[in-house]
Amino acid sequence: MITFDNAGKRFGNLDAVKDFSITIKDGEILGLLGPNGAGKTTLMLMMGTVYRPTSGTISVNGYDVVKHPNEVRKLIGIAFQDPRVDGILSAFDVLNWHLKMTTMFDKVERRRRVEDVLKSLDLWEARKKRTWLMSGGMKKKVEDAKILVQRPSIAVFDEPTAFLDVPSRLLVWKMIRQLRDEGSTVIVATNMMDEAERLSERVAIVNKGRLVASETPEQLKGTVKGGEVLELTLNDGSEFKPDLLREFPEIHDVKQQDNKIMVFLNSGTLLLPKIVDTLSSQGFKIESVRLKEVSLEDVFLTYTGQRLE
């Protein structure tokens, strides 16, 4: 179990993480969802004993990260957002050395593990290629592979599928799920909604260094009033006032981003003609209309007031 108790990290005058509290259960996949700069990486580096928290405490399986950093390091493996590999070394050497540092496996077992994972990730043919000569996607797979060969008790992935094509993304998700099925606790930091929704059992929304919400994706969607979202794109939204639509009792919230209006409501099908009439009578030209169920993206917008790009 991992516990953040009012953890904070301050760099100079900037609070990268502030009053962050969450408990991550053994064997769960937790998605840390937030925009770039939200503090996700700082959280992971504090948990991984690279940064010392400036306030609060963090414990990993009962070990305080400040008092027992060496014990914590034995439990955790982190795959970074940007591949952190020695460019001059080959993929095989990078993974083999990683296993030498993190496990007591003999040469035969190390080779077997590296071979298995590299073959699964379609990197076996390129195993001798120096990583600085690899494409961004290949390097990213090598970074993820470090944790997939190590199979630590606590596996942390920072944007695990950035730079990857769709088949590779699906494959990495599958391999991460396998890791969890074998008993690892998995933390996935991401700014991709579909990744958080499809991979995580629980999603923690992080914004400006703070924990905004933490529930299962379905529970989070349930916290958004209405259950439906009407997305309207106006020709020119500069004169739009949300109060214009709030007169309808079925509408719970209205948010605007430039020309896009998000209406959180019930009975969207019945209400749609009335909304269109209201806007048209005020001189707004509607370019497109889309009625959908609440998504994690809408949840994020509701909690943070911004979209994840």
Partner 1 sequence: MSFLPTLASALSSPPLAKESSTRLVFQMALRDVSVLFRTPWIIITRSLAFVIQLFVFAYLISRLINVPGLNFFQYYAVGSVVATIASISFVIGYDIFEEAEEGVLDYLLTLPISRRQFIIGRALGGALRAIIYIIPMFLVVAVIEGFAQPLSILSALLSLFLLAFGVTGMSITVAVSVKSANRFDVVLALLELAVSRASTALYPIAFMPLYVSVFAPFSPVSFAADSARASLVGFTLDLPAIVGLVAFVVVFLGLGAAFYFRRLEGGIYS
Q: Which residues bind partner 1 (CB under 8 A)?
A: 9, 11, 16, 42, 45, 48-52, 69-70, 73-74, 76-78, 80, 82, 84-86, 88-89, 93, 97, 100-105, 109, 112-113, 116-117, 119-120, 130, 148-153, 171, 174-175, 178-179, 182-184
Point out which residues pair with 253 in neighbouring strands.
264
Nearest CB to partner 1, comparing residues 47 and 299: 47
**Of 16 and 232, CB closest to partner 1:** 16
Residue 196: CB minimum distance to partner 1, A: 23
d(CA 45, CA 53): 10
| Strand, coil or helix: 177 | helix
CA angle, corner 105, sides to 103 and 110, nearest 5? 105
> Rounded to an integer, what distance in angstroms lies between the CA atom of residue 297 and that of residue 309?
10
- Tell me the residue ranges of DSSP E strands in 91-201: 154-158, 185-190
Of 80 and 240, which has the nearer Cβ to partner 1? 80
Residue 105 Cβ vs partner 1, minimum distance, rounded to whole Å: 6
Q: Which residues does 197 contact at the CB level (< 8 Å), separation at least 6? A: 31, 203, 217, 295, 296
**Widest Cα–Cα separation across the chain:** 76
From the CB of 198, what's the least distance to partner 1, in Å? 18
Encode 246-281: b = buried (16+ Cβ within 10 Å), e = exposed.
eebebbbbbbeeeeebbbbbeebeebbeebeeebee
Q: What are phi and psi of 98, to 5 degrees?
A: -60, -40
Shortest spacing between CB 184 and partner 1, in angstroms: 6
CB of 121 to partner 1, least distance (A): 10
Query: Closer to partner 1 at the Cβ: 87 or 305?
Result: 87
Choose between 177 and 307: whose C-beta lies nearer to partner 1: 177
CB 45 within 8 A of CB 51: yes
3-state secondary structure of 228: strand
Q: Give the integer Cα–Cα distance in Å for 288 and 40.
A: 35
| Residue number, 69 or 137, with CB nearest to partner 1 | 69
Q: Closest approach of Cβ 120 to partner 1, in Å?
A: 5
Smallest distance, partner 1 to C-beta of residue 122, A? 10
104 vs 166 by CB, closer to partner 1: 104
- Name the residue nearer to partner 1 (CB basis): 3 or 120: 120
CB of 23 to partner 1, least distance (A): 22
Look up residue 130 and give its DSSP letter.
Answer: B
